[in-house]
Amino acid sequence: MAKLTYIKAITDGLDQVLQNDPKTLIFGEDVGKNGGVFRTTEGLQDKYGTDRVFDTPLAESGILGMSIGLSLTGWRPIPEIQFMGFTMEAVDSIGGQMSRNRFRSSGDISMPITIRTPFGGGTHTAELHGDSLEGLFIGIPGLRVVTPANPYDAKGMIIAAVENNDPVLFMENLKLYRSMKAEVPEGHYTVPLDKANVVKEGSDITVVAYSAEVNEALKVADKLEKENISVEVIDLRSLSPIDDETIFASIDKTHKVVIAQEAQKMTGAGAKVAADIAEKDIMSLDAPIGRVAAPDSVFPFAMAENDWLPDADDIEDKVREILNY
């Protein structure tokens, strides 16, 4: 097994699906010769040709609308939206069109589209590059929204997403692209799209997190371990649907929960997790649900990002507050 970065793990997964299924197509802005602005598709056009991996005109609604027409004619599109902020231009194609087509056709027509898109703060990008916009999309019936937090999941989930016959919004965290490396198996394997993962077992409190916040939560768990506080960390991986079963199994054991996300508190997946717990498993808690999220302002100017993004300190404070309730 090789140690791969998060981004190389995605490239490796894309290589697998292009190799395994001749109907898969990768397209978007700069994904061809340039290999993507982050190099996620690097080398794929050389290997699979310009018919399978190609650049498009610069228009997000066109890219995703085209994906629908390609699906209808038998293709399996893997479009890239260069930054998640740009999905705003293509909300109809996602919410008004592709996600409704299985329903419209009573199950006859699939839209096996995987929309890859980078997001996430901490890399001091221009405006509308770092926003966590999952909150806009997790309320769309027929659409899966997933985000891996480590290289192993990144490869296994991109393969699973492409092989899935429903549209999947695949969110790739910008900050994680090159900041983490881990063992990634060669060849084909999948990670389920709708299963959360207990990434660290613990018994005193559960932290439910996703994407970059999983690593922040793990830092807290390691630190508190020295104080004999045992923190269980769950990586949601899937933001729609939410894997309640894994969360409930954990809080039935710890009786305390903190939900951490990078998105503003008014959006993101945390509110749905909190609502599910409140609705279906509230009696297993002996303290209120704790939440860690960014404040409800617009995503900040780059120089202020680090003051705005929730980090390990914020999670630690909230964990201590809930433990001492």
Partner 1 sequence: MAAEDKQVVDFAKIKSTMSDPYKKPIQVIDESGKIVNQELFDRFSDDELVTLMEKMVWERALHEQTMNFSRQGRLGFYAPTYGEEASEMGIASAMKKQDYLFPAYRDLPQLIQHGATVKEGYLWSKGHYQCYDYFREGVRAWIPQIIIGAQYVQAAGAALGIKKNGEKDTVAYAFTGDGGTSQGDFYEGVNFASSFQAPAVFFVQNNGWAISVPRSTQTAAETLAQKGVASGVPGTQVDGMDILATYLVAKDARDFAAAGNGPVLVETLTYRFGAHSSAGDDPSRYRTKEQEKPWFDRDPLIRLRKVLTDKKLWDQDKEDKLVAQYKDEFKQAMKDAEAAPKQKISDFLKHTFEVPTPDVAADIKKFEAKESK
State yes or no: residue 295 binds partner 1 (CB under 8 A). no
192 is a contact residue toward partner 1 (CB under 8 A): no
Q: To the nearest whole angstrom, how small is the minimum distance from the Cβ of residue 141 to partner 1?
A: 5
Q: Does 129 bind partner 1 (CB under 8 A)?
A: no
CB of 89 to partner 1, least distance (A): 8
Indicate which single residue of 153, 166, 172, 262 sits in contact with partner 1 (rule: CB under 8 A).
Answer: 166
CA 289 to chain centroid, in Å, comes to 23
Q: In what order do the strands lie in the sheet with 205-209?
A: 197-200, 231-235, 205-209, 257-264, 290-294
What minimum distance in Å lies between the beta carbon of 27 and partner 1? 9
- What is the spatial distance between Cα 201 and Cα 25, in angstroms, rounded to a whole number? 39
What is the total count of residues that contact partner 1 (CB under 8 A)? 44
Is 279 a binder of partner 1 (CB under 8 A)? no
129 is catalytic: yes
Q: Is residue 144 at the binding interface for partner 1, with CB under 8 A as the rule?
A: yes
> Which of these ranges, 178-186, 227-235, 241-249, 305-313, lies near partner 1 under the rule CB under 8 A?
241-249
HSE at residue 110, side-chain half, CA atoms within 13 A, is 13
Closest approach, Cβ 66 to partner 1, in A, equals: 3
Residue 264 touches partner 1, criterion: CB under 8 A: no
CA distance 91 to 89: 6
CA distance 113 to 98: 8
Dihedral pair phi/psi, residue 205, rounded to 5°:
-160, 150
Residues 6+ apart with CB under 8 A from 198: 232, 233, 234, 246, 250
Query: How is residue 180 written in tokens?
Result: 């983490």
Among 26, 53, 70, 157, which residue interacts with partner 1 (rule: CB under 8 A)?
70
* Residue closer to partner 1, measured from CB, 19 or 203: 19
User: Applying CB under 8 A, does 56 fall inside the site for partner 1?
Assistant: yes
| Distances 172 to 16, 155, 227, 281, 299 between C-alpha atoms, Å | 18, 11, 34, 31, 18
For partner 1, the binding residues (CB under 8 A) are 25, 51, 56-57, 59, 61-62, 64-75, 92-93, 96-97, 102-110, 141-142, 144, 164-166, 194, 240-241, 243-245
